[in-house]
Structure 1
Amino acid sequence: MKLKALIFDLDGTFAETERDGHRVAFNRAFGEARVGWHWDVALYGQLLAVTGGKERIRYYLEHYQQDFCPPVALDEFIAKLHQAKTRYYIELLKEQGIPLRPGVLRLLHAAREQGLRLAIATTTTPENVTALVSTGIGRHALDWFDCIAAGDIVKAKKPAPDIYDYCLEQLQLEAGQCLAFEDSANGVRAAVDAGIRVVVTVNDYTRDEDFAGADLVLNHLGEPGQPCQVLSGKLDGFEYVKVDLLRRLSGEDEE
């Protein structure tokens, strides 16, 4: 089946946004709310097992702050706290930016030049997608993506396959015509359960996770003069991820 689209996760895959982006924004929101919480690097790494910011706050309350009494209804409190976090995250991006990971921009350009469609499938909010793409590439790059599936657009978040199922529906493509890029075990499970092959680029938080089902696991996508390191799978003689390699991974050359 011919490869027709690349679908990218955002946080941790596009850019290293978690530790010095989202975590910092959560802590600023906690300070604004005067709840006295602080998520350090190690704790945040544990909380990343829960996908979705609002879900992460709820999990933290259930497991670390059982005695906390919110000033308003819990759902409303979590929603407002998450809105504040999103505001701080966007401010952070505008203040200092977060560079894209090696190979991401190069591969986006190459895919477009070779006629592949692009999409984003992420649990982060649409506002965060806009902010990261706009500051990392330019606001014009939002038009590169035929589908941006983000936030609460589906009820069940990764590792459920719903966000990928939604993407396939919007693209009007079959799973075998797409290839996904992820950085976490939850993301891999979501893509695999939707029938989509997956390339993983690990980061410091996800390096030791179980990526069963992924076709290729790398440290990053690589650049000319900056080859990627293979953690699982084969590069078939390539030094970095190119569209020709992705076509082989998709099984296109087997037809």
Structure 2
Amino acid sequence: RPPAGAASVPIGRRRAHQRAQRVAPVGASGDVAALLFDCDGVLVDTERDGHRVAFNEAFKRKGLDHVWDVDLYGHLLEIGGGKERMTKYFNDVADREPFKSITDAAARAELVKSLHLLKTDIFMEIVEGGTMPLRPGVARLVHEAIDAGVTVAVCSTSNERAVSTIVRVML
């Protein structure tokens, strides 16, 4: 219960107001001082247009007849980590290659590891090629902010080399 005399604000609205106060503009004139972006899913859809495409290309280069479409990949994203994602998928389709003929757990893990390394190299080729589209409005917003003197930064827990390359190549 709020103390006597305190305004009664629903919890959700109170928390939203408290968040807004913490992230309010800090400039003396109320101007925005900085604009921070995440990379994955904000600047570009790296999962759909990068990692998924790279997984498919890795399968193709290794002669594996597997294609992850957008819907399947969306479900696979419920599994954290690329190697874990591949392992789960190949276990689910163990009646098909490569797990059909590779039954030893260590050999399966080694195959998944090598596929993941190839996938990572292909992903970097995609990033460096600049073929992942920016999300709508991102380039305009970033350039307008910079033109207005606002500091723009990207924060991410993703691979630093990939994020830096996305920023350098696409923005």
TM-score range, shorter chain: 0.5 to 0.7
1:113 match: 149
Matched with 2:87 is 58
* Partner residue, 2:44: 15
Q: Of Structure 1 and Structure 2, which has the larger fraction of its residues in helix? A: 2
% identical equivalent positions: 40
- Structure 1 residues 127, 76: CA separation in 2 closer, same or farther (over 3 Å shift)? farther
Unaligned runs of 5+ in 1: 138-255
Q: 1:11 to 1:66 in 2, by over 3 A?
A: farther
Cα deviation 1:81-109 (Å, max 9, x = unaligned): 11211221222344452232123234445
Higher relative contact order (CA 8 A, sep 6+): 2
Q: Could you report, residue by residue, the CA deviation over 1:64-122 in whole angstroms, capped at 9, with x for unpaired residues?
A: 3377127864444323211211221222344452232123234445279345x734224
Over 3 Å counting, the alpha-carbon distance change for 1:14 and 1:70 in structure 2 is farther
Which of 20, 25, 28 pairs up with 2:57? 28
TM-score between both structures, scaled by the size of structure 2: 0.59
Amino acid in the other structure paired with 1:125: N
Provide the C-alpha distance between the structure 2 equivalents of 1:70 and 1:32, rounded to a whole number of angstroms.
22
Q: In the TM superposition, what are the counterparts of 1:152-191 in structure 2 within 5 Å?
A: none
- TM-score under structure 1 length normalisation: 0.43
SS of match in other structure, 1:56: helix
**Residue equivalent to 1:101:** 135
SS at match of 1:34: coil
Residue of 118, 125, 133 corresponding to 1:91? 125
The 8 Å contact of residues 36 and 154 in structure 2, kept in 1 or not, is answered as yes
**Cα root mean square deviation, aligned:** 3.3
Question: Runs ≥4 in structure 1, deviation > 6 angstroms?
Answer: none
More strand by share: 1
1:84 is paired with a residue whose SS is helix
- Counterpart in 2 of 1:155? none
**How many angstroms apart in 1 are the aligned matches of 2:95 and 2:45?**
31
Matches of 1:134 and 1:60 in 2, distance apart?
A: 34
1:136 aligned onto 2:165? no
The residue aligned with 1:162 is: none
